[in-house]
């Protein structure tokens, strides 16, 4: 099955917390991984930043939301227990706990209420999808900005001169850790009888092996005839 969103996690999480005097975040994650029968690939899937697993992040946000509704209470960092309100909710045998369900509690409403700032007009934003938690929304927006920036850079590179593109390729290789200086790397550019070589660079900082560079600004794949 697909990785459940943080709202789908809320009810099974609360039920799990109710089975002991105290539960930890790690215990909850491990239990819910099995509860939702996630595959190995789904268990390892990371956020766009690569800093945390998606499922772990969603469980942490589910904990935050039901805690803000006072269904659980924190004992210490990463440890919590179910409250009397939480037990009363479970006695109602709800089919699902989500943001709409939690909105019956004033503490949760206050938590989700936008914080007002004086003399500042509110920005116009798209509605926040309920299946994503705030961190996922921020990461998605960041990824969109990164993709947009990459597209703009690629467009700029394509509109520059061939000479600029050749220098850029050499500069990228130097930044990647290949040996030699910018001056050394470009020693073959523009020379006659160079066989189309656009630059020379050293494979390592010791300069034991030489790599000959040919830069091609093509949309498709550079084939074997061109390379030969």
Q: Torsions phi, psi of 22, nearest 5?
A: -150, 140
Provide the token pair at 51: 């800093």
Asked if 35 and 111 sit in the same domain, the reply is: yes
121 pLDDT band, cuts 50/70/90, is low
Q: How far apart are CA 179 and CA 189, in angstroms?
A: 17
Last residue of a domain, one of 135, 170, 186: 135
Asked if 163 and 67 sit in the same domain, the reply is: no
Q: What is the CATH number of the domain that holds 52?
A: 1.10.10
Provide the token pair at 19: 């089975």
Question: Is residue 21 scored above 90 in pLDDT?
Answer: yes
Domain span holding position 54: 6-115+130-135
Asked if 111 and 161 sit in the same domain, the reply is: no
* Predicted pLDDT of residue 123: 47
Question: Is residue 126 scored above 50 in pLDDT?
Answer: no
65 pLDDT band, cuts 50/70/90, is very high
Whether 195 is covered by a domain: the verdict is yes
Nearest to residue 198, comparing CAs of 155, 158, 160, 164? 164
Asked if 166 and 100 sit in the same domain, the reply is: no
Whether 50 is covered by a domain: the verdict is yes
Lowest mean pLDDT among 43-57, 101-115, 131-145, 173-187: 173-187
> Is residue 52 within 8 Å of residue 120, measured between CB atoms?
no
Lowest mean pLDDT among 41-55, 63-77, 135-149: 135-149
71 pLDDT band, cuts 50/70/90, is very high
Asked if 47 and 107 sit in the same domain, the reply is: yes
* Structural domains in the chain (count): 2
23 pLDDT band, cuts 50/70/90, is very high
Asked if 111 and 162 sit in the same domain, the reply is: no
**Mean of pLDDT values over 12-40:** 96
Whether 54 is covered by a domain: the verdict is yes
Question: Is residue 32 scored above 90 in pLDDT?
Answer: yes
pLDDT tens digits for range 167-200: 787 777 777 777 666 556 555 444 444 455 566 7
Asked if 109 and 183 sit in the same domain, the reply is: no
Asked if 165 and 106 sit in the same domain, the reply is: no
Whether 140 is covered by a domain: the verdict is no
Asked if 96 and 175 sit in the same domain, the reply is: no
Question: Is residue 125 scored above 60 in pLDDT?
Answer: no
Lowest mean pLDDT among 61-65, 105-109, 157-161: 157-161
Whether 148 is covered by a domain: the verdict is no
Which range among 71-80, 134-143, 186-195 has the greatest average pLDDT? 71-80
Q: How far apart are CA 30 and CA 27, in angstroms?
A: 5
Asked if 86 and 164 sit in the same domain, the reply is: no
**Mean of pLDDT values over 60-69:** 95
Question: Is residue 83 scored above 50 in pLDDT?
Answer: yes
Q: Name residue, tokens 């600029």.
A: 164
Whether 173 is covered by a domain: the verdict is yes
Whether 122 is covered by a domain: the verdict is no
Asked if 22 and 102 sit in the same domain, the reply is: yes
Asked if 97 and 195 sit in the same domain, the reply is: no
Provide the token pair at 228: 């030969």
Whether 226 is covered by a domain: the verdict is no
Helix (H, G, I), strand (E, B), or coil: what is residue 74? Answer: strand
User: In sequence order, which residues have a C-beta less than 8 Å from that of residue 152 and are 6 or more positions away?
Assistant: none
**Mean of pLDDT values over 14-36:** 97
Lowest mean pLDDT among 142-146, 202-206, 222-226: 202-206
């Amino acid at each position: 099955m697909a990785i459940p969103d943080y709202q789908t996690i809320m009810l099974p999480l609360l039920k799990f917390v109710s089975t002991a005097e105290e539960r930890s975040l790690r215990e909850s994650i491990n239990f819910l991984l099995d509860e939702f029968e996630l595959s190995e690939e789904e268990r390892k899937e990371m956020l766009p930043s690569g800093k945390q697993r998606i499922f772990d992040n969603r469980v942490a946000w589910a904990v935050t939301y039901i805690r803000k509704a006072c269904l659980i209470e924190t004992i210490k960092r990463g440890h919590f227990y179910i409250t009397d309100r939480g037990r009363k909710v479970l006695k109602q045998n709800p089919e699902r706990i989500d943001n709409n369900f939690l909105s019956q509690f004033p503490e949760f409403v206050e938590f989700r209420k936008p914080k007002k700032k004086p003399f500042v007009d509110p920005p116009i934003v798209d509605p926040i999808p309920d299946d994503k938690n705030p961190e996922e929304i921020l990461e998605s927006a960041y990824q969109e900005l990164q993709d947009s920036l990459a597209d703009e850079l690629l467009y700029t590179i394509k509109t520059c001169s061939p000479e600029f593109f050749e220098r850029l390729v050499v500069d990228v290789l130097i930044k990647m850790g290949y040996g030699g200086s910018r001056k050394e790397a470009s020693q073959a550019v523009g020379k006659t009888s160079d066989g189309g070589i656009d630059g020379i660079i050293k494979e390592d900082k010791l300069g034991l092996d030489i790599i000959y560079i040919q830069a091609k600004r093509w949309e498709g794949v550079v084939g074997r005839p061109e390379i030969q």
